[in-house]
Structure 1
Amino acid sequence: MSSADEETPFDAYRERVDRPLARLFRTYGRERLGWFSIGMVANFFARAASLLPPLLLGIAIDSLFLGEQSFSIPLVPDAWLPATTTAQFWFVILVIAGSFLATALFTWIYGVTANLFAHGVMHTVRVDCFEKMQALDMAFFDDKQTGEVMAVLNNDTQNLERFLDDALMNSMRLLVMTGGIAAVLFHLNRQLAVVTLLAVPAMGLFTWWFMRAVEPRYVSQRSAVGNLNTRLENSIAGIDLTKATASERFEIGRVRDASKRLFDDTMAVLKLSYLYRPGMELLAGLAFVSTFLVGGLWLTTGTAPGPLTGDLSVGDFVVFLFMTQRIVDPLAEVSNIVDQYENAKASSERVFGLMDISTGIEDPDDPTDIEPIEGHVTFEDVSFAYDSELIDGDDERVLHDISFEASPGEMVALVGPTGAGKSTALKLAMRLYDVESGSVCVDGTDVRDVRVPDLRSAIGYVGQETFLFDGTIADNIRYGSFEASDEAVREAAKAAQAHEFITELPDGYETRVGERGVKLSGGQRQRIAIARVVLADPPILILDEATSAVDTETELAIQESIERLAADRTTLAIAHRLSTIKSADEILVLEDGDIVERGDHDELLDLDGRYAALWSVQAGAVDFERRAEALAED
């Protein structure tokens, strides 16, 4: 299957969205209905005022310049009009000038109110989408592309803003201009009006065909945008690996393929647009030519051509030409309106597709209050599979009926090969996922019965991959404890053995770490992450290979800090280096999701099983390193 045919992560959700643009107005337009209404009314008056000059010009030609008719204006009583020719002339001048002024004024009012409406909706949609993204389960991010989410937050919200602003303005302009011009033309000469407006039904049929043909192409184009965003983000985030493996040409090829897909999908849309827009302009032009031809023959021959009857004045003919020219632009603008409509429809489907994604990790309707949390953690017959539909198949389970407990002041360590289920077990404790069977309890209460923020605020987590936000070192230590004082930040850094290297930096705690903390080493980032947990002072610690990115000397210093920190709280730890969990109260050896050995360090060595074998390998490696260092010193 080609990349162009692959279903994007949001397609399944998008397809279930019903009448997305109507839902957009229903959800986000109601609270801004005042601005929207003012804008539409102002737009109506602006367009209506723009029709007065050609109408008054035609009246002036017939009544004032040629003297063929009496001075009369439709819908205006004759008693309100001046009686003399001079007064009538100045009256026409003032009304025409006033119509231009009114057009400018009401256009300005519309511009302000329409933008307040459109940008307000865009702002709220973007924030709501981000809020929804924050509420989604970790399972969503396991297989969804970040670029797709970025496309919704940026490109799709901007498409909606353009539709709510430009497309609605042009739609109102089209309705008022077409309706108003048709009314004026039928009032002046119904027969010639039919000739002029004959192209309108053809334009409607042409537009209906275009909308049906272009909609699936817009959907494919929006998918290609998300695919390219994902590819670019992944390539930039992995630039270290790319350069280290000399894979620049490979990444360029992948971005080229994603960009080519977007190019092809965009050209598929533009090919139809390039057919539609000239076609609309041609039909509008034919309306003008037909009007000029029939009206011109009518005046030059003095008789109505063909089946037409009656008379046509010079002034009415001038009005027809002006009005026909005025109708060309809004009719030709239908192409842009349809473009923006289809684009906004595809984007709103993606927006509400994201909004409609169900979340499994939610607060219970009647949460149990367990504060203050002491930190007693219990796993009881816990089984888990990342795909819940496969839980009946044992081969798909990540964890199999595991049970253990950890009390305040105790450390329980999980060791085992990669893929054994160690990190998954700790994520279940934080309720990043929910167990399939069994239970995870804190202080005797199932974590599913507790408010998620209450649970997670009681847990301090340090993972093997440390993430830092672009900001200062102090900001990153303070993250999650935003009101902490500068002194508290420094004390936490000292406890994590980070204070010394921080003070040696040019700006100390105000040093900016760069995106993802790229300006710091792996060990420095990890110590900042530990300092963050120290500052939060949670009753439960989860350490997922928390010293994996530091050297042996730093590891010993951090280990001392962790032991002091863990002295009076519950600690669940995963360690690659067994020396860091040697003093744990209980060590669980996991293999393929099962606990195959348990006990403290000495007990496991006495078993002479998997743990003892792993310890023997690592102890031998450490001894070799020490002898090598001693020889180097000699």
Structure 2
Amino acid sequence: MAVEKSTFEAYRDRVSKPLVRIFTTFGRDHWAVFGVGLVLNLIQRGASLVPPFILGVAIDAVFNQTQAYELPLLPAAWIPGDRAGQLWLSFGLIIGSYLLLAVSSLARGLCMDYFSHRVMHDVRTTTYRKLQRLDMGFFESEDTGELMSVLNNDVSNFERFFDDAFVRATRIAAVLLGVTAILVYLNWQLALVTLSALPLLAVGTLLYHRLVEPAYDAIRSAVGSMNTRLENNLGGMQLIKSTATEEYENERVRDVSWDYFESNWWRIKLELFYHPGSRFLTNVAFGMTFLVGGVWLVSGPPGPFTGELSVGTLVTFLFMSQRIRNPMRDIASVVDLYENARASGKRVFGLLDMPVRITDAPDVEKLPAVDGHVEYDSVTFDYENAVPSPADAEPDGGTVATDTQDGWNSSDDETDPVLKDVSFEAEPGETVALVGATGAGKSTVLKLLLRLYDVDEGAIRIDGYDLRDVTLASLRESIGYVSQETYLFGGTIRENIAYGRFDATDEEIREAAKIAEAHEFIERLPEGYDTQVGERGVRVSGGQRQRISIARTVVGDPDILIFDEATSAVDTETEMLIQRSLDRLSADRTTFIIAHRLSTIRDADKILVLDDGEIVERGTHEELLERDSLYANLWRVQAGQIDELPEEFIDDAIDRTSGQ
């Protein structure tokens, strides 16, 4: 059965000429450095061919005296007439060529390394910037490990390609052209023997390229899958240990590792056949050059060959045939580096070509100071419309896509929306609570307020401003969000509280911690506010993480607050402390609260009861209890009055939970 491609895979597969796009998009500002590096590489390779040529001339002219001392491009007036002078000239030219080789090699390395690392830096930062712009629908449909593989493994492959493959490729071209020119100049007939392996090598290289191309696509995908599995397992190590599922996870890691092995083993087998074959052909060419040249010197021109051959010329041929062995051997490495970089380039541009839906329109303005009047006007929304569609991926156009709505699912699809015609208002300073069963749409309502997604129909307004008509930055700066799943960055408590308000003073940080009921426990820590929280805050408890998160919101001084299950994952005492801090923080601010524990929202100015994406009840706590409907039944559940629940409510609860 065919596996449906993800959106990222669909965009990746439609990328064409990725390495050309790397050059034109990211290398354009550094082409001068790259060009100088290529020229220096040609000089370096040319200098490496001078010593064997000089040696052949010296053998014939200085030692055997069978021909005059002549060198191309060197005026005859500069050549000494005596043998000793010619010997010293040969020595000087050989040492000079080696000096030029060393200097050009150093300068070439500086240029090419600078170019490759600058391009790698630009690709990584641009890709990460694009990742931050992509919508939440993308992150909910793609694996984090796959994206990490793009940022790390794939981007790093460009450095190897530009720094290594290009240098080798130009070396191969320079050496082959230079050697061919020298050998043809010295003896075109023997040159045919020495260069006879080249056509066969060209055919073998073309075949190798065609066979290895799909292997690298499979390898890059396998690396992404393996990174995803390893990241998931490392993040869930506590669960693995507590459930004694180590062997099960060993098998899963073994499976993805085996997939990588199989895709890579096919490439290795191709390489193992190609490398010995290319070496064998070049060695045969070397042996044939020695045989034909030796017979020529001993017995005269063999077979169809004519003319004379000197010892110095044969020595030069033998040295030059050795010079082309390494470049011939490197062709496979260049092909490997090219294919690896090409596969990585498709993944990078597949990501860069992903459409961005949630973005600032051309004529938006900054949201002014907020009073806090929030209006939901007939809002309908479905997550299916918030995820890019693989079927709509456009063929590569050769540019980095950043702000386009093309390639998104159409809202004309007949699906059951998550939210249906939701309308309500929150007055400035009011506290509005959203309650309902899991999956009723509570969190979705407030994600739309942050504009993590856009509504399909209707509108959301703050102080009369449609969210789509103001900048994302000004909108989100005016809203403070405290989630059940708090996230702390690796660093100190002080840095985490000041995150988003990096210029906050120590006094502001401490005052925010006091409001969040966090100051006391922070002061008791050995290093206080300079305590390292560890990756994702693992060195502090869940309640402490939550209060640090609240302090971070306090420092931001937002006009609108969102508390999404902010106390559901902590113990009763911690909940009491957090609730006190939330009460302080929400004073005089428009506040939205999502809570399963109805006792925490009984004093809300307005309670909205959602069921299956619709607001089915609204009012205060007392009004809703008097209505004796869904909210009253939810209250009975939390009060332990299970026997008083109507059968219809229980049946509906069974239906709701069975669909989760």
CA distance in 1, matches of 2:413, 2:26: 45
For 2:336 and 2:461, locate their aligned partners in 1 and report how far apart those are by CA, in whole Å: 54
Matches within 5 A, 1:280-299: 280-299=278-297
Cα deviation code 1:34-76 (max 9, x no counterpart): 2212211111111101111111111111111111101111222
Report the Cα distance in structure 2 between the residues aligned to 1:417 and 1:28, rounded to whole angstroms: 50
Q: Does 1:555 align with 2:553?
A: no
Question: What one-letter code is carried by the residue in structure 2 that aligns with 1:456?
Answer: R
Show the counterpart of 1:360: 357
Aligned counterparts of 1:134 and 1:511: Cα–Cα separation in 2: 28
Match in the other structure for 2:12: 14
Corresponding position: 1:320 with 2:278: no
Quote the offset at 1:617 in angstroms: 2.1
- 1:398 paired residue number: 418
Task: State the partner residue of 1:498.
Answer: 518
**How many Å separate the matches in 1 of 2:301 and 2:178?**
25
Cα distance, 1:205 vs structure 2: 0.9
In the alignment, what sits opposite 1:212? 210
Corresponding residue of 1:29: 27
Counterpart Cα distance in 1 of 2:449 and 2:375:
9
Is the 8 Å Cα contact of residues 156 and 344 (structure 1) preserved in structure 2? yes
Q: Equivalent of 1:461, from 463, 467, 481?
A: 481
Q: Does 1:598 align with 2:618?
A: yes
1:545 aligned onto 2:543: no
Partner Cα distance (1:276, 1:607) in 2: 80
- Indicate whether 1:374 and 2:393 are aligned: no
Q: In the alignment, residue 424 of structure 2 is paired with which amino acid?
A: F
Distance (whole Å) between structure 2 residues aligned to residue 243 and residue 188 of structure 1 = 74
Find the aligned partners of 2:304 and 2:430 in 1 and give their Cα distance: 102
Residues 477 and 42 of structure 1: is their aligned pair in 2 closer, same or farther, counting only changes over 3 Å? same
What code does the residue aligned with 2:380 have? S
2:265 aligned with 1:245, yes or no?
Answer: no
Change (3 A) 1:202 1:393: closer
- State the partner residue of 2:57: 59
Structure-1 residue corresponding to 2:180 = 182
- 1:376-401 per-position Cα deviation (integer Å, ceiling 9, x unaligned): 11111111111124755675311111
Look up the equivalent residue of 1:359 and give its one-letter code.
V
1:335 counterpart = 2:332: yes
Q: Deviations over 1:107-156 (max 9, x none)?
A: 11111111111111111111111111111100110010111111111111
Q: What does residue 402 of structure 2 align with?
A: none
Q: Distance in 1 between matches of 2:412 and 2:314?
A: 82
Q: What CA distance in whole angstroms lies between the structure 2 residues aligned with 1:371 and 1:213?
A: 60
C-alpha displacement of 1:325:
0.7
Task: Quote the residue 1:45 is aligned against.
Answer: 43
Query: Is it true that 1:580 corresponds to 2:600 in the alignment?
Result: yes
**Amino acid in the other structure paired with 1:461:** Y
- Preserved contact between residue 415 and residue 576 of structure 1 (Cα < 8 Å): yes
Tell me how far apart the structure 2 counterparts of residues 243 and 530 of structure 1 sit (CA, whole Å).
31
Equivalent of 2:555 in 535, 538, 543: 535
- Secondary structure of the residue aligned to 1:563 is helix
Q: 1:401 to 1:472 in 2, by over 3 A?
A: same
Per the TM alignment, residue 449 of structure 1 is displaced from its structure 2 partner at its CA by: 1.1
1:452-488 deviations in Å (ceiling 9; x for gaps):
1110111100011111111111111111111101111
Could you say which residue in structure 2 is the equivalent of 1:629?
none
Report the Cα distance in structure 2 between the residues aligned to 1:240 and 1:585, rounded to whole angstroms. 41
Mapped to 1, the partners of 2:258 and 2:336 lie a distance apart of: 21
Q: Distance in 2 between matches of 1:77 and 1:229?
A: 63
- Tell me how far 1:10 sits from its aligned partner: 2.9
Larger CA deviation: 386-395 vs 253-262: 386-395
What CA distance in whole angstroms lies between the structure 1 residues aligned with 2:631 and 2:603?
A: 14
Instruction: Please report the TM-score for the alignment, with normalisation by the length of structure 2.
Output: 0.92
Among 495, 508, 518, the residue aligned to 1:475: 495
Look up the SS of the partner of 2:265 in the other structure. Answer: helix
Residues 429 and 587 in structure 2, CA contact (< 8 A), matched pair in contact too: yes
Match of 1:128 in 2: 126
SS at match of 1:324: helix
Which residue number corresponds to residue 302 of structure 2?
305
Structure 1 residue aligned with 2:632, among 612, 621, 624?
612
CA deviation after TM superposition for structure 1 residue 7, in Å: 4.2
SS at match of 1:217: helix
Give the structure 1 partner of residue 654 of structure 2.
none
Partner of 1:89: 87
Residue from 328, 345, 370 that aligns with 1:348: 345
- Secondary structure of the residue aligned to 1:439 is strand
Please tell me whether the aligned partners of residues 8 and 354 of structure 2 are also in contact (alpha carbons under 8 angstroms).
Answer: no
Q: Which amino acid aligns with 1:464?
A: Q
* Partner deviation per Cα, 1:173-210 (whole Å, 9 max, x = no partner): 11111100000000000111011111111111111111
Equivalent-residue separation in structure 2 for 1:331 and 1:558 (angstroms): 70
Partners of 1:419 and 1:19 lie apart in 2 by: 44
Note closer, same or farther for the CA distance 1:390–1:31 as it changes in structure 2 (3 Å cut): closer
2-side partners of 1:20 and 1:613: how far apart?
Answer: 59
The one-letter code sitting in structure 2 at the alignment partner of 1:368 is: E
SS in 2 for 1:337: helix
Asked whether the equivalents of residues 42 and 170 of structure 2 are also in contact (C-alpha less than 8 Å), the reply is: yes
Q: How does 1:97-108 map to 2 (within 5 A)?
A: 97-108=95-106
Distance 1:456 1:48, change over 3 A: same
5+ long unaligned stretches in structure 2: 386-408, 643-660
Equivalences for 1:221-236 in 2 at 5 Å?
Answer: 221-236=219-234
Counterpart AA for 2:444: T
Matched, 1:507 2:505: no
| Paired residues of 1:384 and 1:391 also in contact (CA < 8 A) | no
The answer for the alignment partner of 1:440 in structure 2 is: 460
Q: Give the Å deviation of 1:78.
A: 1.2
d(CA) in 2 for partners of 1:8, 1:339: 27
User: Which of the numbers 546, 553, 568 marks the counterpart of 2:588?
Assistant: 568
1:415 paired to 2:435: yes
Q: TM-score, normalised by structure 1?
A: 0.96
Deviations 1:516-575 (CA, angstroms, capped at 9, x unpaired): 111111111111111111111100001101111222233223223222221211111100
CA shift, 1:6, in A, is 7.0
1:357 aligned partner, one-letter code: M
The residue matched to 1:333 in structure 2 has which SS? helix
List per-residue Cα deviations over 1:305-337 (Å, max 9, x = no partner): 111111111111110000001111111110111
Distance 1:280 1:621, change over 3 A: farther
CA distance in 2, matches of 1:370, 1:42: 55
Change (3 A) 1:534 1:390: same
Amino acid across the alignment from 1:573: I
Q: Is contact 2:41-2:167 (8 Å) kept?
A: yes
The 1:395–1:66 alpha-carbon spacing in structure 2 relative to 1, beyond 3 Å, is closer
1:9 CA displacement: 5.4
User: Unaligned 5+ residue runs, structure 1?
Assistant: 623-634
Counterpart for residue 403 of structure 2:
none
Distance 1:616 1:11 in 2: 49
Q: What is the alpha-carbon root mean square deviation over aligned residues?
A: 1.5
Question: What is the count of residue pairs matched by the alignment?
Answer: 619
Overall identity of the aligned pairs, in %: 54
Q: Confirm or deny: 8 A CA contact 2:113 2:163 kept in the other structure.
A: yes
Q: How far apart, CA to CA, are the structure 2 residues paired with 1:7 and 1:613?
A: 44
Aligned match of 2:259: 261
Q: 2:170 aligns with which of 159, 169, 172?
A: 172
In 1: Cα distance, 2:127 partner to 2:16 partner = 18
3-state SS in 1 of match to 2:324: helix
Q: State the Cα distance separating 1:586 from its structure 2 match.
A: 0.8
Which residue type is aligned with residue 301 of structure 2?
A
Is the Cα contact below 8 Å between 1:382 and 1:435 reproduced in 2?
Answer: yes
CA-CA distance at 1:278 after TM superposition: 1.1
**2: CA distance, partners of 1:390 / 1:121:** 37
How far, CA to CA, are the matches of 2:328 and 2:269 in structure 1?
20
